[in-house]
Amino acid sequence: MLKMKISVSQSISSCSSVSPSQLKILQIENIEDLEVLPEDLWHLPSLEGLLIKACEELDLSDDIQWQYLRSLREFQLINMNKLAFLPKGLQHVSTLRKLSIESCPNLKSLPEWMESLTAIEALWIEECPQLSERCKNNLGADWPKIAHIPNISIDDRWINDGDSLSSFIYEIWMEGIVIDQLLFTFLFFNWSCHHEEVPQSLIAGQCLS
102 and 17 in a single domain? The answer is yes
Same domain, 57 and 97: yes
The whole-number pLDDT of residue 115 equals: 94
Residue type, 54: A
Distance of CA 148 to the CA centre of its chain: 16
> At residue 54, does pLDDT exceed 70?
yes
74 and 112 within one domain: yes
DSSP state of 14: T
Task: Check: CB of residue 48 under 8 Å from CB of residue 27.
Answer: no
Which range of 44-48, 106-110, 196-200, 204-208 scores highest in mean pLDDT? It is 106-110
Query: Residue 183 is which amino acid?
Result: L
Indicate if the pLDDT at residue 106 is higher than 90: yes
Q: How far apart are CA 101 and CA 78, in angstroms?
A: 6
Which CATH number goes with the domain that contains 22?
Answer: 3.80.10.10
Same domain as 118, residue 182: no
**Domain enclosing residue 196, as ranges:** 162-209
pLDDT in tens, 125-153: 999 999 999 999 888 999 999 999 999 99
Contact of 17 with 42, CB cutoff 8 Å: no
Rounded alpha-carbon distances, angstroms, from residue 160 to 76, 164, 196:
21, 7, 14
Q: Contact, 131 vs 109, CB < 8 A? A: yes
Q: What is the mean pLDDT of residues 192-205?
A: 41
Domain check: are 103 and 184 in the same one? no
Same-domain pairing of 193 and 103: no
Contacts within 8 Å (CB) and 24+ apart, 161-170? 163/191, 163/195, 164/197, 164/198, 165/190, 165/191, 165/195, 165/196, 165/197, 165/198, 166/191, 168/198, 168/203, 170/121, 170/122
- Specify the number of domains making up the chain: 2
SS3 142: coil
pLDDT at res. 94: 93
Shared domain check, 125 and 176:
no
Assess whether 101 and 204 both reside in one domain. no
Contact of 167 with 137, CB cutoff 8 Å: no
60, 151: one domain: yes
Tell me, yes or no, whether 140 and 177 share the same domain. Answer: no
Q: Residue 18: its pLDDT value, please?
A: 56
* Residues 74 and 140 occupy one common structural domain: yes
Mean pLDDT, range 3-11, rounded to an integer: 53
Residues 23 and 70 in one domain: yes
Q: What is the pLDDT of residues 161-184, one digit of tens each?
A: 444 445 555 554 455 433 344 444
